[in-house]
Amino acid sequence: MGQIRIGRILAYAAMVLVAVVILAPLGWMITMSISPTKDLTSVPLPWIPSALDFSRYQRLLTLAHNSDGEVFLYALRNTCWVALGTTLLATLFAVPAAWVFSRAGRDLRWLLYLIVGTYMLPPLMFVVPLYRILSSFDLLNSPWALMVADSTIVLPFTTWLLKSGMDNIPVDLEEAGAIDGGKLFRILRDITLPLARPVLGTTLLFSALIVWDEFLYAMLFTSDSRAQTLTVVIANLASGRVSDYGLLSAAGVIAAVPPVLVGLILQRSIVSGLTSGGVKG
């Protein structure tokens, strides 16, 4: 019994350690975002702010001409726009294809693997040709450019995710529809898609997360607030000569809130999705 007790105490100590390691940098980022600038540039560094200063959030979230807020809010808008557009477009193209991949089984597996295999390629493989294509269509520095570019990452991923999800939907229901003389498209729309709603939701959220995180294409294909995304604006702020760490932290906190919320929503589907497959298999 003594051995078990020591084991549990060690396990709780390990849990506390993991929690502290995760929370410390996050907590410090939030603390910096509300500390007076004077605190953040003093030695020894005070860990508890001498006063609460929410002015950075105010600055970032106020739309005034030529201000940090203008740059930031436009970037927020662009990011939302690109995330929404890419996600919807990618899903639109991936749904019918994923259905075919799911139902065709072994026949088309090579093609699916070929598509998923492109995930291995670094985005830098596509950058120069994409740049030429986008500039020939005069799309550079527009959210459309990023929707096209981000599709190179999102499309293979959504196809794979949707295909795995549809594998769990029984074929019998579709066959009943086919006997009634339903056309393929109608079977997909009326029978499969309503059943695939949970995996569709998961896929949409996952692709939005990928787009929210994307940096390289956004840095190369955009040049001003018409299309620049949050990641580019934050990277620019971070490498600036004169840095207000509080402002940087506040920008980071705001940019992190939506994806973290999405991640927490997805949490259940990540773990339960993986485990339900295991139980059935």
Residues between 240 and 259 that touch another protein (CB under 8 A): 243, 245, 248-249, 252, 255-256, 259
Smallest distance from another protein to CB 18, Å: 6
> Shortest Cβ distance from residue 155 to another protein (Å)?
6
CB of 130 to another protein, least distance (A): 5
Q: What residues numbered 113-152 form the site for another protein, per CB under 8 A?
A: 115, 118-130, 132-133, 148-149, 151-152
Residues 62-81 close enough to bind another protein by CB under 8 A = none
Q: Confirm or reject binding of residue 57 to another protein (CB under 8 A).
A: no
Q: Binding residue for another protein (CB under 8 A) from 110, 181, 239, 241?
A: 239
User: Which of 49, 84, 235, 269 forms a contact with another protein (CB under 8 A)?
Assistant: 235
Q: Is 9 in the site for another protein (CB under 8 A)?
A: no
Tokens 């075919």, residue located = 100
Cα–Cα distance, 129 to 126 (Å, whole number): 6
**In 91-117, which positions are buried (b, 16+ CB within 10 angstroms) versus exposed (e)?**
beebbebbbbbbbeeeeeeeebeebee
Distance of closest approach, residue 131 Cβ to another protein, in angstroms? 8
Minimum CB–partner distance for residue 137 and another protein (Å): 11
Token reading at 70: 């203008």
Binding mask 172-191 for another protein (x = CB under 8 A): ------------x---x---
Identify residue 44 by its one-letter amino acid code. P
Give how far the C-alpha of residue 203 lies from the chain's centroid of Cα atoms, to the nearest Å.
Answer: 11
Distance CA 71, CA 228 (A): 9
90 vs 195: CA distance, rounded Å: 20
Options 104, 137, 176, 186; binder of another protein; rule CB under 8 A: 104
- Regarding 220 and contact with another protein (CB under 8 A), the answer is yes
Residue 65 Cβ vs another protein, minimum distance, rounded to whole Å: 26
73 versus 115: smaller Cβ distance to another protein: 115
Question: Smallest gap, in angstroms, from Cβ of residue 147 to another protein?
Answer: 10
Distance between CA atoms of residues 253 and 259, nearest Å: 11
Residue 208 touching another protein (CB under 8 A): no
